[in-house]
Amino acid sequence: MRYRNRFLKVLSSVLYDLPAPVNLTIFWNFGSLLGVCLVMQIFTGLLMAVHYTPEVSQAFDSVVHIMRDVNGGWFLRSAHANGASFFFGCIYAHIGRGIFYHSFFMTHTWLVGCTLFVVLMAIATTGYVLPWGQMSFWGATVITNLWSAIPYVGPSLVEWLWGGFCVGDATLKRFFVFHFLAPFILMVLVGVHILFLHDTGSGNPLGIDSDAEAVPFHSYYVLKDLVGIVIMVGALCIVVFCEPDLFSDPTNFTPADPMKTPLHIQPEWYFLFAYTILRSIPNKLGGAMALAGSVLILYILPLYPKSLWRGSQYNPVAHFVFWAFVSNFIVLTYIGMCPVEPPFEFVGMVASVLYFLFYIIYPLTWFFWENMIFDSVYESTDMYGDNYKETNAAYFCSFYEDEYK
């Protein structure tokens, strides 16, 4: 049946018969979890959009109406708001996996992935404005104001973005339209992401050619992905039913008031790392560029020179540098919640510098380790004559080129 019907044939080539490496670990689960997050967000978002009013005098109350009067509205809103946190948790794990296992050398898949990340950030930012609470309004004011740092055109650009002289009704309406539409664009991009992925096939945790040891996607990875989905949806249910306000800011329970600036303005947890980087630079344009750079830097990873081994799994130095980067990311996130005063200010500056330093040091660790390995092998034997090191490096290189050309 699945070979005869055209539609089923395409579907089964993606989800049923697709040859997948035999040794994928749980770090390969996050892609499917991201897909599930996207579907859940679109579903809950669509149902809420039926009851939401994008108008400054009614937006806050319409969200209260969803929470109190609409059947199951409290569930939809909580699942949507907390679903965003799970979405970002998964995307950070997915990107981290890519950095550790050198998946960025799958250039097309990676570049589309980076675009997915940027669009997702824009969706989350515009979505946070919709409940029109204090943090919605002031968060939007801080972030949109950053565009004004662009020399010459900046101030006009911000007014154009606002549709007025400050964040207001026109801003809310266009943010709602963007927040409604962009997830569908995301869906198309996910299709392209998967298309490119299936062109090369998945990587694997050993970083070796997996063609000889492939298994069909069904039932092996259908079941493995299902286990991941049950765990993630279970965890989301625990948050939604037991701690629905776990990730939210109490300030956003107060309706937006342009005349009262909250004492501490901060974004949701998933943007705190970039927020710290922004605040660590005393110059507005510099801060805005560092903020943008902290995300856009992912686009240049495919330009790294290739190492002989694919991934950091056999390289203890790269291991250390990678996990130091992850720890530093957590420090940046924590500092984003603290006031801009000693010692947090200084720690934030150091962590911001370390964040960017990682992207220089990480590739160096590959070549440092390779040289060490080949030097030690060369020193321990003269069996193959003077050019043992070169011969072996050339052998590995040719193997590598064959696999990833």
239 binds ligand HEM (CB under 6 A): no
Please identify which of the residues 9, 173, 198, 306 carries the catalytic annotation. Answer: 198
- Closest to ligand HEM by CB, 120 vs 288, is 120
Q: Is 30 a residue that touches ligand HEM (CB under 6 A)?
A: yes
Residue 403 is among the residues annotated as catalytic for this protein: no
Our finding on whether 32 is near ligand HEM (CB under 6 A) is yes
What burial class does residue 357 get, using C-beta atoms within 10 Å of its C-beta: 0-12 exposed, 13-18 middle, 19+ buried? middle
Length of the chain: 405
Q: Is 110 in the site for ligand HEM (CB under 6 A)?
A: yes
Q: Is residue 38 close enough to count as binding ligand HEM by CB under 6 A?
A: yes
Which of 45, 83, 113, 183 contacts ligand HEM by CB under 6 A? 113
* Candidate residues 31, 127, 183, 348; the one interacting with ligand HEM per rule CB under 6 A: 31
Sequence-separated (6 or more) residues with CB below 8 Å from residue 136: 128, 129, 130, 252, 256
Task: Pull the structure tokens for residue 293.
Answer: 């750079």
Q: How many residues lie near ligand HEM (CB under 6 A)?
A: 29
Q: How far apart are CA 161 and CA 140, in angstroms?
A: 11
Of 123, 158, 167, 113, the closest CA to residue 270 belongs to 123
Q: Does 224 bind ligand HEM (CB under 6 A)?
A: no
Report whether 319 belongs to an annotated binding site.
Answer: no
User: Which is closer to ligand HEM, CB of 160 or CB of 399?
Assistant: 399
- How many helices and strands, by DSSP H and E, does the chain display? 14, 2
- Please identify which residue in 77, 80, 193, 310 interacts with ligand HEM, judged by CB under 6 A: 193
Does 108 belong to an annotated binding site? no
Strand, helix or coil for residue 165: coil
User: Is 13 a catalytic site residue?
Assistant: no
d(CA 23, CA 33): 19
Segment lying near ligand HEM (by CB under 6 A), choices 28-36, 211-219, 273-281, 338-346: 28-36
Q: Is 51 assigned a ligand-binding role in the annotation?
A: no
264 is in an annotated binding site: no
Bridge partners (DSSP) listed for residue 106 = none
Tell me, yes or no, if 159 is annotated catalytic.
no
**Which one of the spans 53-61, 140-148, 193-201, 273-281 is the region binding ligand HEM (CB under 6 A)?**
193-201
Pairwise CA distance, residues 92 & 274, whole Å: 13
Contact with ligand HEM (CB under 6 A) among 232, 290, 298, 321: 298
- Those residues whose C-beta lies under 8 Å from the C-beta of residue 298, and which sit 6 or more positions away, are 95, 104, 110, 114, 117
Judge whether 268 counts as a catalytic residue.
yes
From candidates 82, 202, 276, 333, binder to ligand HEM by CB under 6 A: 202
Report the nearest approach of ligand HEM to the CB of residue 27 (Å).
7
Among residues 15, 16, 35, 206, the one that binds ligand HEM under rule CB under 6 A: 35
Q: Considering only 47-55, 106-114, 160-168, 242-250, which stretch makes contact with ligand HEM by CB under 6 A? A: 106-114
One of 62, 85, 202, 307 is an active-site residue; which one? Answer: 202
- Which residue from 382, 319, 329, 323 is spatially nearest to 354, judged by alpha carbons? 329
Q: 90 and 29 in contact (C-beta within 8 Å)?
A: no
- The token pair that represents 6 in the structure block: 């055209």
Q: Tokens 């400050």 label which residue?
A: 166
Q: How many CB atoms neighbour CB 79 within 10 A?
A: 26
Amino acid at site 262:
P
Amino acid at 201: G
Is 249 marked active-site?
no
Q: Which of 78, 248, 249, 268 is catalytic?
A: 268
**Binding-site ranges for ligand HEM (CB under 6 A):** 28, 30-32, 34-35, 38, 91, 94-95, 98, 101, 103, 106, 109-110, 113-114, 116-117, 120, 186, 190, 193-194, 197, 202-203, 298
Q: Which residues form the catalytic set?
A: 198, 202, 224-225, 268
